[in-house]
Structure 1
Amino acid sequence: MVGADDVFGGAGGGILFTVLYDLLKELISKSMIYGPLLKDILSALDSYRPLIKQIEASNEELGYRKEEVEKFKAHMKEGIKIVKKCSKVRKWNIYKKYKYANKLLGWDSALERLLKVLQAQGVRDGKETLLSVKRIERTVTEIEMNSSILESGVEILATTSRHMEKALSGVEMRSGDVLEGMYRIEDRVETKSCSMEAGIKRIEDRLDTQNGAKGGAWGVVPELTQFTVGLDEPLKELKMKLLKDGVSMLVVTAPGGCGKTTLATKFCQDEEVRDKFKNNIFFVTVSKKPNLNLIVEELYQSKGSQVPDFQNEVIAVDCLHEFLNQTGKNPLLLVLDDVWSESESLLEMFDEWKMPNCKILVTSRFAFPRFGSPYNLKSLSDEEAMALFIHSAYLGDISSHVPEDLARQVLKHCKGFPLAITVVGRSLCGQPIEIWQKRLIEWSKGSSILNSDHDLLVCLQSSLDALEKESITIKECFLDLSSFLEDQRIPATTLIDIWGESYKIDEDWLCIANLCELTNRNLANLIVTRKDPREVDGYYTEHFVTLHDILRELAIYLSSVESIEQRKRLIIDMSGDHFPEWWTEQKCQPINAHLLSISTDGNFSSKWPNMQLPQAEVVILNFQSKKYALPTFLEKMDKLKVLIVTKYGLLPGELDNFPLLGSLLHLKRIRFERISIPSISKSPVQLESLEKISLFMCKIGQAFSNCAVKLVDLLPNVVEMNIDYCNDLVELPAMLCDLISLKKLSITNSHKLSALPEEIGKLVNLEMLRLRSCTDLSEFPDSIQSLINLTYLDISDCFSIKELPEHIGGMRSLEVLNMRQCSRLQELPTSVLNLEQLKEVICDEETRVLWEPFLSVLKYTHVRVVKDDINLNWLHKFPT
């Protein structure tokens, strides 16, 4: 049997407790790695000492509870084990550094929960003492109340009160987690002139207050002690959404450190909310590893009810349901704070128990879209960010000598992210101007704001750690988002090319699914600028991804942890011709990165130093200059499969060094954005392995003119070609129709395209032809009937088309025809009756009328009418 003294004995508050405390102090003195975190935990342990001593005293008088002692002993041993491992971590080992930082945070959080149980034990003991006092009262009232007996009874009551005050004030949990002072009883029992009945009533009232009977605040609704800014409008929107009829659950979602818990706390303390729910407000922190038994215990304790005995989780669920049924007779607000994806089943359970009087507010880094449209908490505006920064850095007090423009430069790096603003502000508080300037210089040279405080990094990285357990691929997808310029929309089609080759994702829609996963976890934001949500046809040109600047910095930081030679992603952001020192000093040492991203500005001269990347499979080149030469070191990348070249700005850029692409024997995908493609006859390049070409907002009108070279000889194996927003394309070049291996041809938003060549019938292997939003296209050549393997034809938003090809029925494999907004179409050719495989026609109300006479024969054809979805967001979606 474990003795109480093994855990709690000794002047230091317990042998194991003292060992752990001493180890922490020693580690703080010897290592700077975990500095602030270790100090926080040490401070917390200091605050736990009174409870440890109180339990020791209670054990001597009442006997200890073996189960609580065993749990506490095991947890102390676990803490000692983690601290010993922390002491062995070297400063350079970033991975282990943050691995054990996470373990320390998890251990500290679990200790808080364990002490809540011990504190609950103290409350129960206090109630038992109160019952004893009431028995004394009944005995005393049976006797004649002379002055000496009254004086004796009052003295007993005063002693009992002091004992309870000591028990209930044993532990001070850290600020923000528990109501300040919830363990104190401020008033003393009245003097001898007070009656014993009034004194006992006063103790009952105090105990009920501590247990949350007056507002559900016993260890539940945290105190809003910190400075808040930018939450007034979100609070107003939150009340409007959650308090309206028919809404039972609302998820507030944002990345870690954006203020979700603070907003939820502010919501609970709002006067209108308190008037509605009164003492039926409950605030439960679910956390990453939820314990349903503890959650239910907290709810019962917060109501001042007797805590049931949970033999298993099934009983806990029953008790939770019973609690909600009883408490929910009046309006009830339940806040589930910090819910992780592992707890989705818990939300599902609450969702199934929908009760008319119950409102559930959830805060989470995950969107949980299955429970309704979430509320996305946005970053702070510039004014709000400055107000928080001034408060955090005490600029109006200690550091008033800091110039405002310097403060704004620092604040710019925080990107409106509340946690970053607070961390950076505190780190600069009281520092001389030179420190502020030094910090700016470090950031301008590539140092990350995440170096300012490990708490910010750990907070953000914890979302990725949880994601990695579910899918390493999706985590890698997130890190790939760092390869693109800041504050720009990333085309989803670009990511499809990268991920298709990097992670062997065969289907485009699986890449979109990964983006949805990242969006649900607030690690990215998927934007669809114009799309019927029911229309799933593989057209993703209007899908874009945005990334919060702090999250982009996190991705860059995590991609740069290893040495240059060992990184998976090599991300280079240059100003002018200022190359990184490691690049110019590199002595032909190979770099093992599988992805290379280089971004240059308008002052770059295109003179490239040498670089060896024998393992690189993806190269992303972002430039802003009018002329740009492909790096000569590309021709040595024997494994290169994907090349993405993007010119940022209003006008297309000229690209040189095309011939070197001929040496890339494994190149499968090329994507050019805003590139002026020269005539291929000037520098023909044979790309035998190339399978997919994407041209976005490119200038291609002269690319195929006066060409004596057969295109099929240069591109013998291309199976997919996408031409989007290429406005100088007037007529599709006939030589493109020699690419008989083509299976997918997509030409969209090319508004000057007016005709297709007769030779298009040569594309006999074509399975998908998309001509969406080619507004000048008025007719089709008769040869289109030769596309006997075509299963999907999209001519939506082709306003100028007056008639379909007379022999369209020759496309006997056609299954889907999208012809919405073909408003000038007057009639259909009778040959549509031969489209026996046609399953779906997508059109508007006017066009549907044209199909009605044929549907009696085309019995298996479904006509789906969709309303026009006009969205001009596309006008702003391109990078400038």
Structure 2
Amino acid sequence: MKILYKVDKSDVEKQEKSFAVPFEVPEVTFPGVTAEEISSWRAALATASNILGYVVKEISTSEAKLVDEIAVDTFKKLNDLAPSGNEGLVGVESRLRILEKLLSCNELDSVQIIGIVGMGGIGKTTLADCLYGRMRGQFDGSCFLTNIRENSGRSGLESLLQKLLSTLLNDRDLEIGAPGYAHERFERRLKSKRLLIVLDDVNDEKQIRYLMGHCKWYQGGSRVIITTRDSKLIETIKGRKYVLPKLNDREALKLFSLNAFNGSCPSKEFKSLTNMVLDYAKGHPLALKVLGSDLCERDNLYWEAKLDRLKSISHGDIYEVLETSYEELNFVQRNVFLDIACFFRSEKVDYVRSVLNGHGVDVSSVIEDLIDKCLITLSNNRIEMHDMLQTMGKEISLKAETITISDFRWLSQYGIHSKWYIRLWDSAIS
């Protein structure tokens, strides 16, 4: 890329004005250089003048800002030419474009917060990582704090804050002092840079407040990306929310085929079984990847047995990811979640409210909480949840032996006699 600063393109192309001076007496200017070499230099200047780039005759801003704009634009062009690194990450590109648009539109001089929201295993961290890799070169400093939910419990928030500020300010020996005043102490240095921050897997508003501080401590144009399973956290801090959608049918088939058939289309023998897996996973990337890898190069008898087991027992790797969402619920939320998983999936929300409210629970707010935490959804005024979450809920109920005779009498008065209920009942009284 060329940059012509206060220079006419034609002067460079034809070696006129100041560009003509060195060639007037070439044997003096370039002693020992042959005529052929000088001719090649002239040709190179003519070629360079026609390369796409910047021609700056006057600037309305400071030279420093101009250099910054050119650097960012150059990075974007180089990034477009470089390999994306997203091979095997099905559906990522379309979602990245949406996020880039959200991050670049409006309020360019303010600090923007974007929350990527979705259930466990749906790809929030993967998407944030791809976005971070694509955008970090456009900022003066950047930091990606991974797995905050787990790491804050293991090493504490103070350790994470130390890592965040030392990375953003490029100072390994940084001493943050009292954590409550760290951002204020380094406000001048923070404001001297446009920053990109990713807070991954946040599950508590306190984590955001502690690590990020206040927007006033950052330079306008800085961006904060938060991944979470709880959309209410993003609303609380007044950020913009992007609910990460599940993979569509085409994307789901592609991701599953990459893992189950090494990218090939399923053979006729496995088409029906593949459709059963896709119906079970319902566009959930982690499930498609894990199940695809598990079923790869297995015969159809193994597939059939696996699918049969999945009706009542979750896959271990998937279960571990989903179970963390359940563990973070309070007592009442857990009970309502299990009630829905075992008895009320696809029931009308008004009916569920009437049943559970009659049992001494103000369930309306709890249902809203479970929606915010991406554990249930509402569709046509009916409560729905992913098959994997329902299976997990049923497993938890059986392990806890939560069904009692009083539960049976209470539920039976509402006409609940599903096959699953009978199984729970048999387990409870055996």
TM band (smaller chain):
0.5 to 0.7
Pick closer, same or farther for the CA change 1:561–1:320 going to 2, 3 Å.
farther
Q: Out of 194, 203, 211, which is 1:340 matched to?
A: 203
Which residue does 1:495 correspond to in 2? 352
Question: 1:620 Cα deviation (Å)?
Answer: 4.7
Is the counterpart of residue 442 in structure 1 residue 309 in structure 2? Answer: yes
The equivalent residue for 2:173 is 307
In structure 1, C-alpha distance between the alignment counterparts of 2:309 and 2:281, rounded to whole Å: 14
Residue pair 2:86, 2:92 contacting (<8 A) in 1 also: no
Structure 1 residues 322 and 464: CA distance shift in structure 2, 3 A: farther
Aligned CA distance change for structure 1 residues 441 and 514 (closer, same or farther; 3 Å): closer
Residues in 1 aligned to 2:173 and 2:417: alpha-carbon distance in whole angstroms = 62
**Residue deviations 1:114-134, cap 9 Å, x none?**
xxxxxxxxxxxxxxxxxxxxx
Residue 115 of structure 1 is matched in structure 2 by none
Aligned twin of 2:322: 460
- Superposed, which structure 2 residues align to 1:713-724 within 5 Å? none
Amino acid paired to 1:359:
R
Q: Check whether the contact 1:492–1:512 (CA below 8 A) recurs between aligned residues.
A: no
**In 1, Cα distance between the equivalents of 2:293 and 2:269?**
14
Distance 1:352 1:464, change over 3 A: farther
Taking the aligned partners of 1:353 and 1:303, their CA distance within structure 2 comes to 13
| 2:148 equivalent to 1:287 | yes
Q: In the alignment, what sits opposite 2:104?
A: 243
1:349 aligns with 2:213: yes
Aligned partner of 1:295: which letter? L
Contact 2:143 2:167 survives alignment (8 Å):
no
**Structure number having the greater helix percentage:** 2
Aligned residue for 1:267?
Answer: 131
Structure 1 residue 382, shift from structure 2 partner: 1.3
**Secondary structure, counterpart of 1:327 in structure 2:** coil
Q: Per the alignment, do residues 402 and 269 of structure 1 end up closer, same or farther by CA in structure 2, a change over 3 Å counting?
A: farther
CA distance in structure 2 between the aligned counterparts of 1:402 and 1:418, rounded to whole angstroms:
24
Q: Which one-letter code corresponds to 1:447 in the other structure?
A: S
What does 1:221-236 align with in structure 2 at a 5 Å threshold? 227-236=88-97
Instruction: Answer yes or no: is the 8 Å Cα contact 1:296–1:319 preserved in 2.
Output: no
The 4+ residue runs of structure 1 with deviation greater than 6 A are 397-401
Tell whether the 8 Å contact from 1:498 to 1:618 is kept in structure 2 after alignment. no
Query: How far has the Cα of 1:381 moved from its partner?
Result: 1.0
Deviation at 1:296, TM superposition (A): 3.1
Is there any run of 5+ residues in structure 2 with no aligned partner, and where?
1-74, 77-83, 423-430
The CA distance in 2 between the partners of 1:280 and 1:314, in whole Å, is 22
Contact 1:399 1:431 in 2 (8 A): no
CA distance in 1, matches of 2:304, 2:182: 56
Distance 1:567 1:618 in 2: 18
Q: Give the counterpart of 2:270 among 384, 403, 424.
A: 403
Structure-2 change in CA distance of 1:372 and 1:457 (3 Å) = same
Partner of 1:476: 335
Query: What is the distance in 1 between the residues matched to 2:321 and 2:225?
Result: 22
TM-aligned CA distance change 1:352 to 1:299, over 3 Å? closer
For the residues of structure 2 that align with 1:281 and 1:292, how far apart are their CA atoms?
Answer: 19
Distance 2:254 2:265 in 1: 16
- Structure 2 CA distance for aligned equivalents of residues 304 and 373 of structure 1: 28
Q: Quick check: 1:324 aligned with 2:190? A: yes
Q: How many residues align?
A: 326
Q: Give the corresponding residue for 2:373.
A: 521
Question: 2:222 & 2:406 partners in 1: Cα distance?
Answer: 52
Q: Kindly tell me: are residues 229 and 397 of structure 1, through their superposed partners in 2, closer, same or farther at Cα, counting changes over 3 Å?
A: closer
Map of 1:83-482 to 2, 5 A cutoff?
227-246=88-107, 248-270=112-134, 273=135, 277-285=138-146, 287-288=148-149, 289=152, 291-301=157-167, 304-319=170-185, 321-328=187-194, 332-341=195-204, 342-346=206-210, 349-351=213-215, 353=217, 355-367=219-231, 368=233, 369-370=235-236, 371-396=238-263, 403-443=270-310, 446-448=311-313, 450=314, 452=315, 454-467=316-329, 471-482=330-341
Task: Name the counterpart of 1:621.
Answer: 416
Match of 2:40 in 1: none
State the 1:476 CA deviation: 0.9
What's the offset of the Cα at 1:229? 0.7
Structure 1: state its 5+ residue gaps. 1-213, 216-222, 530-542, 569-591, 596-612, 624-630, 632-880
| Percent of paired sites with the same residue | 23
In structure 2, relative to structure 1, the CA distance for the partners of 1:618 and 1:312 (3 Å cut) is farther
Structure 1: distance between partners of 2:296 and 2:265: 8
Give the distance between the partners of 2:220 and 2:333, measured in 1 at CA: 39
Deviation track 1:183-207 (CA, whole Å, cap 9, x = no partner) reads xxxxxxxxxxxxxxxxxxxxxxxxx
Inter-CA distance 617–557: structure 2 relative to 1 (3 Å threshold): same
Q: CA deviation at 1:303?
A: 5.0
How far apart are the structure 2 equivalents of 1:321 and 1:358? 14
C-alpha distance in 2 between matches for 1:334 and 1:618:
53
Whole-Å separation in 2 of the counterparts to 1:322 and 1:398: 56
Q: Do the aligned partners of residues 511 and 384 (structure 1) sit closer, same or farther apart at CA in structure 2, a change above 3 Å counting?
A: same
Q: Report how far residue 279 of structure 1 moved.
A: 4.8
Which amino acid in the other structure matches residue 313 of structure 1?
Answer: P
- Note if contact 2:180-2:210 (Cα within 8 Å) is conserved in structure 1: no
Secondary structure, counterpart of 1:283 in structure 2: strand
State how far apart, in whole Å, the 2-side matches of 1:397 and 1:230 are.
18
The verdict on how the C-alpha distance between 1:320 and 1:388 changes in structure 2, with shifts beyond 3 A counting, is farther
Alignment CA distance shift 1:286-1:433 (3 Å): closer
Is the 1:282–1:333 Cα contact (8 Å) retained in structure 2?
Answer: yes
Do the aligned partners of residues 248 and 257 (structure 1) sit closer, same or farther apart at CA in structure 2, a change above 3 Å counting? Answer: same
Query: Structure 1 CA distance, aligned partners of 2:146 and 2:85?
Result: 15
TM-score normalised according to structure 1 size: 0.34
Classify the secondary structure of the residue corresponding to 2:328. helix
Deviations 1:838-869 (A, max 9, x none): xxxxxxxxxxxxxxxxxxxxxxxxxxxxxxxx
Query: C-alpha offsets along residues 432-468 of structure 1, whole Å, 9 cap, x if unaligned?
Result: 222112223334xx423x1x2x22111111111112x
Quick check: 1:385–1:418 contact (8 Å CA) kept in 2? Answer: yes
CA contact (8 A) 1:567 1:593 kept: no
What CA deviation, in whole Å up to 9, does each residue of 1:261-290 have, x standing for no partner? 1111121233xx356x24533212251125
- CA separation in 1, counterparts of 2:242 and 2:177? 37
Q: Is the 8 A contact 2:157 2:211 kept in 1?
A: no
Q: Identify if the C-alpha distance between structure 1 residues 366 and 303 changes in structure 2 by more than 3 Å, giving closer, same or farther.
A: same
Tell me if structure 2 keeps the 8 A contact 1:280–1:327.
yes
Q: For the pair shown, which has the larger CA radius of gyration, 1 or 2? A: 1
Query: 2:257 touches 2:264 (CA, 8 Å); kept in 1?
Result: no
2:224 partner SS: strand
Give, in angstroms, the shift of residue 348 of structure 1: 7.3
Does the CA contact (< 8 Å) of 1:382 and 1:416 recur in 2? yes
